Structure formats: C-alpha cells, structure tokens
Amino acid sequence: MSKLLNLFRKKPENNSKALIQNFEAALGENLHSLIQYGSSVKGSQNAKSDLNLLIVLQISTPEAHSAIYHLLKHRPEIDPFILGMRGIENTFQSFAIKFLSIKRHYKVLSGEDILAGINIPLDRERFLAEQALRNLRLKLVHAFVIKGPNLTYLKYVISIKNAIFIDVFEVPRCDDMELPVDYLQRITMLQEKFSFSSSVLKTLYTLPDIYNNLSTTEIEQLHGNLFLFLDNILSYVEKHWNGK
C-alpha cells in the first residue's frame, strides 16, 4: 500500500490523470461524477491516510460495481464511496452530515459537480448531528458491554474514530463556529467553547499508535472518558438547540 500511495504523491498529476482515464474507460457514460475529497485535498494527509473518492453513477448496477472492484483491487489506499443518481437528493438529505463534511474539501476529477448545489437547512443539520451523536453513544456502550475492556473493544473504537470526530465537530459548526484544518487545534477550540473537558479526543486521535500498550484499567478509563464526553456534548445540544 505505501509504495502505491507514495507513487501517487510523488507524481500526483500523472497518477491522478491515469486514474481518471481508467474510471472513464471502465464506466463510460455511466460515470456521472468522480470526486476526490478529504485529507488528500485539504493537504493534511499522512502515510496512513486513504485517498477518498466519491463515485457517482448514472445507474448503480452490479456490473458497475464489478468494474470498480477490478479498477481498485490493486489500489488498497483508495477508499470509494459509491452512489447512484436515482434519489440522490434524498441521499443528500439523509446523510447531510457526511456530505457537508465532503463538501468542505473536494475537487471534481470528472463529470458534474453534484456537491455545489447541496442545501441543508440548519434545523435538519442539527437534527442529524444530534442523531449521529446519540447513535455513537449507543454503539460505544454496546461495544464495551459486549467486548469488554480489551483490544477488541479498542479496535472497534478505532474503526469509528473518524465518525466520532466528524460528528463531534459538527456541533460547533452548527453554532456557526469556524474550525481550523488541524484536528489538534480543533480539540483546543472545543475546550475553549465547552465547559467540560475534551482531552479524551487527544487520546482518541493517537489511539491507532498506542492501543497495543494500554492496560485493562487504561481501557476502562478511556471508555469512561469517551462516554462522558459524548454525554456532555449531548447535554449541551439538549440545552442549547431545543426550540432553536
């Protein structure tokens, strides 16, 4: 994976052009949009970052899925997000937080810019942000109770780490707060905004590098701090957003 990703970064123009041509050749007129988004666009990627692609098909079919599989089977650094055009406005509204996050840092590689016209009312954005946080809190508790304070639980937390950051940072955004690109600077801003500690997010940020070294007691502490943080965020939402 690192060799492929390093090759892409050393010659991004050539590799990006080849990637676009491969998608256009394989999918033809069924390729409505090919969009790159995330850290590779905003310039915050590292050696472990994926290359995020939004692939929008005119019609999402098993044949198209197979074509994309063959395009990407030797490109494990690419993380595809695949949609069909049918009902796409409903998809935007249903997953508004995801698309608002994508829209902040993206570039169109081929086809139409389908993100430019996305319009999410603030009340819906807030509803979905709260829903996502409640879901994360439920899943975190369920995982801890079922798996216990061990590596299996930590691996699960790592698997939802990005979702936690996206959903948590949506709260200050819904309060019209500008956030820096750097996640550690964002955590500092959260600390300044809220009356409760957000320091557990710093541990969560480094968790993929340290999880093998955590003791059972430390895992229990991590779970407790992470649950308390999510619970406090939701308490803030309940207090400040109700009726707004």
Output the pLDDT for position 6: 45
Q: Record the tokens describing residue 65, joined without a space.
A: 């899925």
Query: Partners of 31 in the beta sheet?
Result: 57
Element (H, E) at 89: helix 88-94
165 and 106, same domain (yes or no): no
- In this prediction, residue 47 carries a pLDDT of 54
Residues 95 and 142 in one domain: no
Q: Is there a domain that residue 57 lies in?
A: yes
**Has residue 117 been placed in a domain?**
no
What local confidence, expressed as pLDDT, does residue 149 receive?
96
13-22, 25-34, 88-97, 200-209: least confident range: 13-22
Residue 234 lies in a domain: yes
Establish if 8 belongs to a structural domain. yes
Q: Residue 162: its pLDDT value, please?
A: 87
Q: Is the pLDDT of residue 11 over 80?
A: no
In this structure, what DSSP letter does residue 61 have?
-
In a domain, 237, yes or no: yes
* Torsion of the alpha carbons at 235, 238, 239 and 244, rounded to the nearest 10: 150
Q: What is the pLDDT of residue 44?
A: 59
Give 197 or 155, the one with higher predicted confidence: 155
In terms of domains, do 94 and 152 share one? no
Is the whole model's pTM more than 0.85, yes or no?
no
> What is the domain-level CATH number for residue 24?
3.30.460.10
Number of domains composing the chain: 2
* pLDDT (0 to 100) of residue 1: 36
Domain boundary residue among 84, 111, 138?
111
State what percent of residues in the chain have pLDDT above 70.
91
Among the candidates 52, 78, 111, a domain finishes at 111
Per-residue burial over 61-78, b if 16 or more Cβ lie within 10 Å, else e, is eeebeebbeebbeebebb
In this model, does residue 48 exceed pLDDT 80? Answer: no
Residues 43 and 148 in one domain: no
Do 234 and 128 share a structural domain?
yes
Strands (E), the chain: 31-37, 51-57, 78-84, 106-111
Output the pLDDT for position 217. 96
- Degrees to nearest 5, angle at CA 130 with 129 and 136: 90
- CB-based contacts of 63, cutoff 8 Å, min separation 6: none
Residue range(s) defining the domain that contains residue 160? 122-241
Does residue 54 sit in the same domain as residue 30? yes
Please indicate, yes or no, if residue 151 is contained in any of the structural domains.
yes
- Closest to 130 in 3D by CA, of 236, 35, 24: 236
Please indicate, yes or no, whether residues 47 and 132 belong to a single structural domain of this protein: no
215 belongs to a structural domain: yes
37 pLDDT above the threshold of 80: yes
* Residue 43 pLDDT grade (very low, low, confident, very high; cuts 50, 70, 90): confident
Residue 50 per-residue DSSP state: -
Between 10 and 201, the more confident residue is 201
Residue 194 has pLDDT above 70, yes or no: yes
Buried b / exposed e over 177-209, threshold 16 CB at 10 Å, is eeeeeebeebbebbeeebeeebebbebbeebee
Phi, psi for 51 (deg, rounded to 5): -100, 110
Asked if residue 129 has pLDDT above 90, the reply is: yes
* Terminal Cα distance for the chain, rounded: 47
Q: Are 96 and 120 in contact (CB under 8 A)?
A: yes
CB of 129 closer than 8 Å to CB of 170: yes
Let me know: does 140 contact 230? Beta carbons within 8 Å: yes
User: Which burial class, exposed, middle or buried, applies to 23 when counting CB atoms under 10 A from its CB (0-12, 13-18, 19+)?
Assistant: buried
* 195 has pLDDT over 90: no
* Residue 181 DSSP symbol: S
The pLDDT score that the predictor gives to residue 89 is 93
User: How many CB atoms are located within 10 Å of the residue 88 CB?
Assistant: 16
74 inside domain: yes
User: 127 and 37, same structural domain?
Assistant: no
pLDDT, averaged across the chain: 88
